[in-house]
Amino acid sequence: MHDTLILFGATGDLAQRYLFPSLLHLWRDRLLPPDFRVVAVGRQPMDDDGFRTWLRERHGEAAEDGDLDGLLARVQYRTVDLDDEAAIPNALGVYADRPCVSYLATPPDLFVPAARGLSAAGLLADPSRLVLEKPIGRDLASARAINAALRECLDESRIFRIDHYLGKAPVQNLLALRLGNTLMEAVWQHRWIKSVDILVAETAGVDGREGYYAGYGALRDMVQNHMLQLLALIAMEPPAALDADSIRDEKRKVLCALRPMEPGDVATDAVRGRYRAGVVEGDAVIGFDDRHADPRGPVETFVALQAWIDNWRWAGVPFRLVTGKRLAARTTEVVVSFKPVSHWLFERPRRERARANRLRMQLQPEETIELGLMGSLAASEWGAMELRPMTLDLPVSRSDQRRIAYERLLVDALRGNQTLFVRDDEVEAAWRWIDSVERAWSQAQAPVHDYPAGSWGPAEAAAFMPRTLLKSPRGGDA
């Protein structure tokens, strides 16, 4: 395990909300090397003591006695302008005395100059590693350019592209549920499955990130990475082994099999939306700020897509992807709807009113697995057997030892385990499909529909929403 972490963007939101709390938990539980050190890099001029005081003000209340002091004693701070490649060797070259992990929690336009500066400083020499936050570029061309530049500095086996969804325990449970159970794998194909819904709903808005969001939108910010990674895990062929390359090979095949969207598909396979003022969880909120609109076209905060995977396993099965900001509830769930039985024997209900089996896996905020079945209410007073829907509800107990995604991913990066990280060809395959959606939207002049904050998105997207959601207490009686 490497014992040096060089963290770029150390004063940013991601570092303060997730990375430093994760490091604190790992240090508390003795999961970091005894000689571990953090080199925090930012633009703000501070010395070591000033940065440690700054960290203590933000994390002191959440830390137990002694834990924060122990971590802070291993933190140093360096002020570096990442736009200046030459400044990196001068400021950080001294840390090339032992292998390290450099973590770029920065915008993607800084990836290349930062990597080149780190390389010049000797900080990417084998076996040192590089971690990059999403997004990798904003389209296929920029992603290819970034990947090519990174390969000039170090080989792919030492590049770790983070998608924090892959570090979530419930997401990893998708693989266990499917590949560890004969019941699931036997029916995991187009012959038995009618459709698959993937929903990532957020109550939060883009407050404070309007400038970033105006250049990306929900399609690039959420679908290109989180949602397509979920789709790939659900749809991939069983890998030969659970090693990094075997799993990523199968995910890439799924992403390459996604049918490009054409302008004629937009009317039936896509809906875009943007939230306006409304009420979320009892609080009035403002709408998306139009002053940050992208000059290249309108920006969406909600997107619903119908994707098709052109391969033997999934031919003809729609995968509906829905994500949005300022929705009615925060939830991430996957709903697999099965086809009805081939021959209906029962008088009640009639075949057209029977409910097909459905598997619902909620990943957050609670982790649950529900299997919808049909069961009998037959009794002596009944003249015929009547079937009614029934649900097997399997809540997954949360262990106090379960770690948040970034804790798992930080340890894996320090150890060199790439299984839960994204490979360059996966990134490019995902962008290839996203670019086809963008082109189709542009050529079809796809509108952006308004929706009130606190709703489930534009009315035009109702057909894309999982039926389980719309019938649940969270979704009302739509």
Q: Is 77 exposed, middle or buried (0-12, 13-18, 19+ CB in 10 A)?
A: buried
- Assess whether 226 carries a catalytic annotation: yes
Centre a 10 Å sphere on the Cβ of residue 156 and count the other Cβ atoms it contains: 12
Residue position matching structure tokens 């079809």: 444
Between CA 160 and CA 323 the distance in angstroms is: 25
Between CA 51 and CA 38 the distance in angstroms is: 12
Tokens found for residue 426? 């996966």
Between CA 67 and CA 328 the distance in angstroms is: 38
Strands 283-285 and 278-280: antiparallel
E-only strand ranges, 343-385? 358-364, 368-376
Contact 51, 77 (CB under 8 A): yes
Between CA 415 and CA 412 the distance in angstroms is: 5
CA distances from 329 to 170, 189, 201, 372, 377 (A): 18, 31, 7, 22, 34
Contact 354, 338 (CB under 8 A): no
- Taking the CA atoms of 54, 60, 64 and 66 in sequence, report the sign of the dihedral they define: positive
DSSP alpha helix (H) spans, 60-128: 67-72, 87-92, 111-120
Between CA 153 and CA 124 the distance in angstroms is: 7
From 164, 226, 343, 449, the catalytic residue: 226
**Which of 285, 196, 195, 246 shows the shortest CA–CA distance to 423?**
246
Contact 475, 335 (CB under 8 A): no
Tokens found for residue 418? 């790439």
DSSP state at residue 64? P
44 phi, psi to nearest 5 deg: -70, 130
What one-letter code names the amino acid at 393?
Answer: D
Tokens found for residue 8? 């770029």
Between CA 144 and CA 107 the distance in angstroms is: 16
Residue 335 β-bridge partners = 197, 360
Between CA 306 and CA 285 the distance in angstroms is: 30
Exposure on the CB side of residue 381, measured as CA atoms within 13 A? 1
Which residues are identified as catalytic?
A: 226
